[in-house]
């Protein structure tokens, strides 16, 4: 038995109720306002947070505005926002380990020929 695609009905100021296919990644439209314009309707995914020492640096989520006036807004993208964190990070907090593949390349370049 084929499952019907999920849809959502959203009231708009300029087009009345708009029925949209609801992507599986959308968290819903609990904050939707009926005085929205159709071009402003947006699917939003769950929010992901990047933190440093417990402070929020960035948030990111999937986003798509299927009725946007610009074609770029209609495609699925990642919405990114900075949370106002502005500070110089201690260099010791920014160290990274070389990737295993890079370490392997360095070792083989410095190894004597066999």
**Binding residues for Zn ion, per CB under 5 A?**
22, 26, 43
CB closer to Zn ion out of 74 and 103 = 74
We find the least distance from the C-beta atom of residue 3 to Zn ion, in angstroms, to be 17
Q: Phi and psi at residue 38, in whole multiples of 5°?
A: -60, -40
CB-closest chain residue to Zn ion = 26
- The residue (of 23 and 56) whose beta carbon lies closer to Zn ion is 23
Closest distance to Zn ion from the beta carbon of 13 (Å):
18
In the complex with Zn ion, the residue whose CB is nearer, 38 or 43, is: 43
């Amino acid at each position: 038995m084929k499952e019907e695609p999920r849809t959502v009905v959203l009231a708009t100021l300029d087009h009345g109720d708009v029925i949209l296919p609801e992507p599986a990644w959308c968290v819903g439209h609990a904050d939707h306002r009926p005085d929205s314009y159709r071009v402003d309707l947006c699917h939003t995914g769950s929010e992901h947070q990047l933190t440093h020492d417990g402070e929020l640096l960035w948030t990111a989520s999937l986003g798509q505005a299927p009725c946007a006036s610009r074609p770029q807004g209609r495609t699925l993208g990642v919405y990114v926002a900075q949370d106002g964190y502005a500070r110089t990070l201690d260099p010791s907090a920014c160290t990274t380990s070389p990737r295993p593949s890079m370490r392997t390349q360095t070792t083989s370049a410095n190894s004597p020929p066999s």
